[in-house]
Structure 1
Amino acid sequence: MSGGVDPRAREARGRADYKRYGLTRGDPYRHRDLDPRQERDRALLVDFAGVPFDEIEEQLVRARAAGGAAAFLLSGREATGRTSLARLIAHQYRELHELGDDFRLVVYEEIDHDSLRRAQEVLKAIRNELMELGGWGEHRDRLLEVVPNGVGPTRPEILDLQAQAGFLTNYMRKRMKPPRALGLLIEGMQNDDFLDTLAVVFARVDLLVIVTRDDYRTADTADPDRMNERDRWRRWALPVQVPLLSGDDVDLLARNRWQHEAPDLECPFELSGVRDTFGARRPPVGRALHWLGWLLRCRLDEHEGDDCWPAARELRIPAQWIEKRVRQAESAPTHAERGFRRAR
């Protein structure tokens, strides 16, 4: 007879039974990047108070009227939802330009502290996407001729890069059959002159360009003070500060996710407690979702009966309990999960 516990039994005991809340698909507060092209994701996108949605729309409309790039700089802390916002902007761009499923968002994430060299690599990423979309045999030679591989013995000339950007855009729209449309999402910004470089390279190009920036002062993050001393990129790109959430924002997040998963059931959170607890802490969206999911799981773990919500009123998540559990997590030893740290 074995003295151990069956691993499957341990797993079953450790798994929260979300069906007690009427949740057939598990935790409704899972954090992930949202894609507005997917109908299910569109319902999860909410208008947080600090995001300048009107200015974003105006930038898109203005760029289309001028025939130039629609450029954005999205700054924010980790888990603030910059990538989801970038994909929402891409979706708005696609709808405004009446583009179909042939629109693709090229994502570039490689780090490089040389802005000219990084811009050159971005153009190669666009070129590679076009070769893949159009078929290597048909377009490979011409694209490689104009945007060649290799770095070369000298740094690239910015006007040469500008010419390559114009060629690629013209090629995708006039030479490829059917015409193609691409947007560009550059994740991370290392040097404060990078947006100035992009403003020149894509000056004559009708393209969506979105750059994200970590709102921290590190060796791999562009310095905000030096960036603010530069005028060129501000005339070209709209800066957007992706905010930390207010208590009302977290309230909206809690209700939206719940209604999406269990529309016929009352949300168990006492929302005044959500507003008070998280209004004092201002978490980014990813951390707010983590907190909400953790609190829901804790309440399930405490429940010992067989009844389900809303008949089991002890599954309600009251305001005082929310604050108490969050304080307990914040005072946990330093080896506890980093997600349970007060936003500063």
Structure 2
Amino acid sequence: MPPAARYELYGLRSGNPYTCRPLNAVADDADRARMLELAGFVRLATIKEAVETGVSEKGPVFFLINGVSKSGRTSLANHVMSLYRHAAGLGESFATHCAEPEEMTQDPYPMMCSTLLSLRNKMNEQAIAIPDVLRERFAELGRRTHTDQMNAYDLQEIAGLTGSTYAAAKRGFGIRYESVPTKKLISLATKVFENTRTVVVFTVDDYDHANTFRLTRAERERLASHVHVVDLSALTGEQVAQLARGRWTGRPPSPFHEEGVKSAFSGRPYTVGRAMQHLELLLEFRLREYDRDDPWPTDDLHMPESWLVNRMYQRERWNGLGGIDG
């Protein structure tokens, strides 16, 4: 077993800063700063403005985030909910319902029932007084989850009462649907929460297979009136270089040669998650090759262009981590 990488030589107090994981700005404020624009990869100012506009209009905020695996969909969805929480002044009084991919079905109705009943449970957990009329509607919904389905407008009424109950308690909630498999869920959710002060974020797999879907141009145009659609593409070499610099938390400057990163990552497309995995391992490789005790900055801990290009070539040829489809 190889020895542990000596991250302290780089002045890194919390390990490798390129460890790939979904950012969760709702649970950890520090993750808000880790979300980077990366030269147009994601337009955070535009997203923030859209969220703040929705909050000021006292209506719902809907986002659809489209991308392949490891493209940053979940991180951006959490960031949107964090922006909403901040704009609405909710702080710790913000509840979230997150439906994960394994919970998704082609039938949106039970998904919507689960969402509303989950929000009921969160009200109970937060000791929010539920009005009798809403409690009765929740009981009815529980009986009609699989048979004798409620009309969308009945569900809309329950959502509206739920939203007003949260608001009366000076609280709020947000919803994230992960890897939505059908357009029907988007249509139903936007109808159900049409009159509710909340944020709902859908993430969609940008693949052409049976368990997902692609929006046509006409559908995008129709959605644009009430849903903000964000497409997450692969990164350019320049964007990966910005990622390497922006996520560095050790002793300055970043040890990655900027032009070297651009060259090493210019051969094929990489999602933000795949790029992070490569940066994580490149940093670890450099530390394992280093047998001295002099801390960064020092030449032997720097990652020059030739070293980066050769290492990336070796990884793709021998280890098969790959790029966007790897």
Q: Same fold (TM over 0.5)?
A: yes
**Alignment partner, residue 242 of structure 2:** 252
Aligned residue in 2 for 1:130: 123
Match of 2:105 in 1: 112
- Partner SS state of residue 183, structure 2: coil
1:32-55: per-residue Cα shift (whole Å, max 9, x none)?
232335443333222221213343
Matched letter for residue 70 of structure 1: V
Task: Choose 203-212 or 62-71, whichever is displaced more.
Answer: 62-71
The answer to whether the 8 Å contact 1:191/1:221 transfers is: yes
Q: Which residue identity lines up with residue 321 of structure 1 in the other structure?
A: W
1:330 matched to 2:326: no
Q: CA deviation at 1:191?
A: 0.8
Write the distance in 1 (CA, Å) between the matches of 2:219 and 2:33: 39
Query: 2: CA distance between counterparts of 1:230 and 1:257?
Result: 33
What is the DSSP-based 3-state SS (H/G/I as helix, E as strand, rest coil) of the residue aligned with 1:43? helix
Structure 1 alignment gaps of length 5 or more: 1-9
TM-score calculated relative to the size of structure 1: 0.84
Post-superposition CA distance 1:205-226 (Å, at most 9, x none): 121111111111222213334x
Aligned residue for 1:182, secondary structure, equals strand
Choose the corresponding residue for 2:282, options 295, 311, 332.
295
Contact 1:131–1:140 at 8 Å: present in 2 too?
no
Q: Partner letter of residue 113 of structure 2?
A: Q
1:283-331 CA-partner distances (Å, limit 9, x unpaired): 12211111011111112222233433323x2222111221111111111
C-alpha contact 1:72 1:239 (8 A) present in aligned 2? yes
Q: From the CA coordinates, give the structure whose radius of gyration is larger.
A: 1
Q: CA offsets, 1:104-133, max 9 Å, x none?
A: 222122211112232222222222221211
- Native 8 Å contact 1:196 1:232 kept in 2: no
Structure 2 CA distance for aligned equivalents of residues 159 and 21 of structure 1: 58
State the distance in 2 between where 1:125 and 1:219 align: 28
User: Corresponding residue for 1:6?
Assistant: none
Q: Matches of 1:35 and 1:277 in 2, distance apart?
A: 29
1:281 aligned partner: 268
Query: d(CA) in 2 for partners of 1:65 and 1:314?
Result: 53
**Cα contact 1:82–1:242 (8 A) shared by 2:** yes
Paired residue for 1:161, among 148, 155, 165? 155
How big is each residue's C-alpha offset from its partner over 1:215-259, in whole Å with a ceiling of 9 and x where there is no partner? 11222213334x85476533221111123222222112211222x
| CA distance in 1: counterparts of 2:226 and 2:65, whole angstroms | 14
> For residue 296 of structure 1, what is the amino acid of its counterpart?
L
- How has the CA–CA distance of structure 1 residues 228 and 54 changed in structure 2, closer, same or farther, with 3 Å as cutoff? farther
Is the 1:173–1:180 contact (alpha carbons within 8 Å) kept by the matching residues of 2?
yes
Aligned partner of 1:169: which letter?
G
One of 28, 31, 52 as aligned partner of 2:20 = 31
Displacement after TM superposition at 1:82 (Å):
1.7
Instruction: Tell me, yes or no, if the aligned pair for 2:97 and 2:115 is still in contact at 8 Å.
Output: no
Aligned residues: 318
Name the stretch that deviates more: 150-159 or 121-130. Answer: 150-159
Aligned partner of 1:4 in structure 2 is: none
* Percentage of identical aligned residues: 30
Q: Of residues 301, 305, 326 in structure 1, which corresponds to 2:292?
A: 305
- CA distance in 1: counterparts of 2:247 and 2:46, whole angstroms: 26
Inter-partner Cα distance in structure 2 for 1:230 and 1:196? 12
Q: Which residue number in structure 1 is paired with residue 301 of structure 2? A: 315
Q: Kindly report which structure 2 residues correspond to 1:168-317, keeping only aligned pairs within 5 A, or say none.
A: 168-174=162-168, 178-225=169-216, 228-229=218-219, 232-258=222-248, 260-262=249-251, 265-311=252-298, 313-317=299-303
Task: Output aligned runs, 1:137-148, within 5 Å.
Answer: 139=130, 143-148=134-139
2:34 corresponds, among 38, 41, 44, to 44
Residue 71 (structure 1) aligned with residue 62 (structure 2):
yes
The secondary structure found in structure 2 opposite 1:134 is coil
Q: Give 2:239's aligned amino acid.
A: D
116, 121, 124: which one aligns with 2:114: 121
- Measure, in 1, the Cα distance between the counterparts of 2:96 and 2:310: 43
Residue identity in the other structure for 1:170 = S
In the superposition, the TM-score normalised over structure 2's length comes to 0.88
- Runs of 4+ aligned residues of structure 1 deviating over 4 Å after TM superposition are 140-144
Question: RMSD in angstroms over aligned alpha carbons?
Answer: 2.4
